[in-house]
Amino acid sequence: MSPPVLDLKGQPALVTGASSGIGLAVAKGLARAGARVAVNYHSDREGGERIARAITDEGGTAIAVGGDVSREEDVERIVAETVAAFGTLHILVANAGLQRDAAFHEMSLDDWRRVIDVNLTGQFLCARAAVREFLRRGREPEVSRALGKIVCISSVHEVIPWAGHVNYAASKGGVMLMMKSLAQEVAEQGIRVNSIAPGAIRTPINREAWETPQAEAALLRLIPYGRVGDPDDIAKAAIWLASDESDYVTGASLFVDGGMTLYPGFRDGG
Ligand code: NAD
């Protein structure tokens, strides 16, 4: 067996929501592995351009592409701009997501819709545009064994119910079955579709869960491995899922969560 090669040499990649947190780390990680990266940002143009510049300063290749993943015309343009810059697309990391938390009886229809629109419909729109580009381009076996690779950033809340966050958990549960159904549908065309389901990762989305020692101590009770995750923990998994080293993996949710899904409440015997 040859040694593992996590080399994405020149593969065009799109990472959505890449101006902060996990998306930022994934964009930088893919670029360090050799991919040419389109850094999608929503409203933080300066942030998106700064990340793209940081990648090129390190010797990588990147462009910044603005747009809202919940809007069909934006997603079509984001992918068109990526293809115009890099010739095609081989890797999509559908990462953009948000929370709008509320007690269920106080949750507005707007809060429900916005979370479903970005976290679930956004993944549908991005994955559809990517699949269309993979099929248009056809096989490039010298680039990758797969016709294309899609990595959905889901959450442990695709399986863990989450009171006060019903819209978010519903969106991530939806991502799980969208991903698996799509993986089943396009496997015969050579497209691999997987999810990464992060546990608690230190990013702006969950700042209040880790920024004080008391909050972090409470959070750590849910994490058997004993530390809060870093965005790079997710980036490393994304590089592997985008590479030929995971070529026989499709339709999988890879939990990168320090054991959060291992029912930590049962550690003391239940
Ligand atoms: P974050 O808030 O730093 O990143 C979310 C990114 O999505 C931001 O850059 C934001 O601008 C972008 N975004 C939001 N709406 C958008 C839209 N309509 N169009 C384009 N981009 C949009 O938080 P993060 O933790 O890095 O979150 C990234 C992903 O990871 C999300 O899907 C989130 O649900 C998921 N996740 C995070 C954690 C965690 O603990 N941090 C755990 C599980 C899952």
For residue 151, what are the β-bridge partners? 93, 194
| Each residue's pLDDT tens digit, 176-219 | 999 999 999 999 999 999 999 999 999 998 999 999 999 999 99
Instruction: Identify whether the C-beta of residue 133 lies closer than 8 Å to the C-beta of residue 89.
Output: yes
Is the shortest distance between the CB of 165 and ligand 1 below 6 Å?
no
Strand 91-94 and strand 61-66: the pairing is: unpaired
Question: What mean pLDDT comes out for the span 161-182?
Answer: 98
- Does the pLDDT value for residue 3 go beyond 90? no
Mean pLDDT of the region 41-66: 98
Helix (H, G, I), strand (E, B) or coil at 22: helix
Q: Is 168 a catalytic residue?
A: yes
Question: Please, which pLDDT band fits residue 6 given cuts at 50, 70 and 90?
Answer: confident
Nearest CA, atom 23, ligand 1? 205
| Confidence grade of residue 270 (pLDDT, cut at 50, 70, 90) | low
Tell me which of 41, 168, 248, 263 is the catalytic residue. Answer: 168
Q: Which residue lies with its CA nearest to atom 6 of ligand 1?
A: 17
Q: How many Cβ atoms sit within 10 Å of the Cβ of residue 199?
A: 23
Report the pLDDT value the prediction gives residue 155, as an integer from 0 to 100. 98
In order of their start, the domains of the chain are 12-257 (3.40.50.720)
Cα(39) to ligand 1 centroid in Å equals 13
pLDDT (tens digit, 9 = 90+) per residue, 71-95? 999 999 999 999 999 999 999 999 9
For the segment 87-108, the average pLDDT, to the nearest whole number, is: 98
CA distance 41 to 43: 6
Residue 19: is its pLDDT beyond 80? yes
How confident is the model over 13-29, as a mean pLDDT? 98
Phi, psi of 91 (to 5 degrees): -135, 125
Alpha-carbon distance values, 108 to 161, 164, 221 (Å): 19, 12, 31
Tell me what the mean pLDDT of segment 137-152 comes to: 98
Of all residues in the chain, the percent with pLDDT exceeding 90 is 96
- The counts of H helices and E strands in the chain are 8, 7
